Amino acid sequence: MRWRKLGVVWKPDGTLPWARSHATCPTPVRLSDTLIRVYIQCRDENNVGRVGYVDVLASNPLSVQQVSNEPVLDVGVPGSFDDNGVLQTCVIKVGDTRLYMYYVGFELSYQIRYRLLTGLAVSTDGGCNFNRIKRTPILERSDDELYFRGGPFVLSGDACFKMWYVAGSQWIELDGKSMPVYDLRYMESENGIDWPPKGRVSMAITDPDEHGFGRPFVINEEGRYKLFCSVRKRSLQRYRLGYAESEDGIHWSRMDEKLGLDVSQNGWDSDSVEYSAVIKAAGKTYLFYNGNDFGATGFGVAELVEGG
């Protein structure tokens, strides 16, 4: 694959109270033939994240048409699994009138830095507002996935809902900082709401320089699954983008070199690239992603110019 980086789409200017900084984990949904809505997490003055959106033209994703004045999903009630931040990772259409937003809730802890669990919110007004289906996680802690059950990506089909997510029960020390360890897992649900207490390991951490995968994004083209993900590097303490392919969506072959999208020599994505999401619109294929510092420099987009 060969991508042409188009540049930064949007970053907060600091005027909105809920969006003082960051535009993290761009999650695109095609609203029409001409418009793409990109859901993003922004942070307030206390570094707490909420979910809003940026609408861009499908023919020119650098052309911003609208930014939400208020978050479409706020933090949870005090004491809940998502009381210190919410981060969308997947938004899908279910039926004719509903959008499902799968998101990660941030819960600060004392003995460990935090826990990451998965919630679900539903929109019935075209994606302008989302309401939780419940105040507890749809992926709760379990013996096999104790600290992390997050980063969900879901595809819906006639037979079932398929989820790829990251999970783990371990922290490691890197240069004096506690860092999470998690691999890619897979499971299925009949309704997209009720999920098993654990999934099967779909892509394990095997490289000694890696300690986690972030935000899987899966597309199915002509019966072949293609996985875009972020890879946490121990040596860099930064993310790089990863890529894999699969016949069944469960057993993956790593092909990171095939993706062809890395950091720039300088600028907004010179230190890291992460949280990729692919969408086809206006006859083109776009990849939205974050650069340095988990979205502190905004989110950008690249256009596919060769391969696929």
Does residue 102 carry a pLDDT above 90?
yes
Query: Could you read off the pLDDT of 270-291 as tens digits, one per residue?
Result: 999 999 999 999 999 999 999 9
Task: Quickly state the pLDDT bin for 97 (edges 50, 70, 90).
Answer: confident
306: pLDDT strictly greater than 90: no
User: pLDDT band at 201, cuts 50/70/90?
Assistant: very high
> Please, which pLDDT band fits residue 111 given cuts at 50, 70 and 90?
confident
The answer to whether residue 199 scores a pLDDT higher than 90 is yes
Q: Tokens 């340095």 correspond to what residue?
A: 292
**Token match 């597309």: residue?**
219
Q: What is the pLDDT of residue 196?
A: 96
- Convert the pLDDT of each residue in 131-152 to its tens digit: 999 999 999 999 989 999 999 9
**pLDDT given for residue 235 in this prediction:** 81
Contact of 100 with 192, CB cutoff 8 Å: yes
Say what the pLDDT of residue 95 is: 87
The ranges assigned to domains in the chain are: 2-306
Q: Domain 2-306 belongs to what topology?
A: Tachylectin-2; Chain A (2.115.10)
Question: For residue 74, what pLDDT is reported?
Answer: 98
Distance from C-alpha of 148 to C-alpha of 151, rounded to nearest angstrom: 9
Q: Mean of the pLDDT values across residues 227-254? A: 92
The pLDDT mean for the chain works out to 94
pLDDT of 170: 85
Which structure tokens are listed for 136?
Answer: 């507890």
pLDDT, one tens digit per residue, over 153-189 is 999 987 899 999 999 888 888 888 888 888 999 999 9
Q: CA-to-CA distance for 146 and 27, rounded, in angstroms?
A: 26
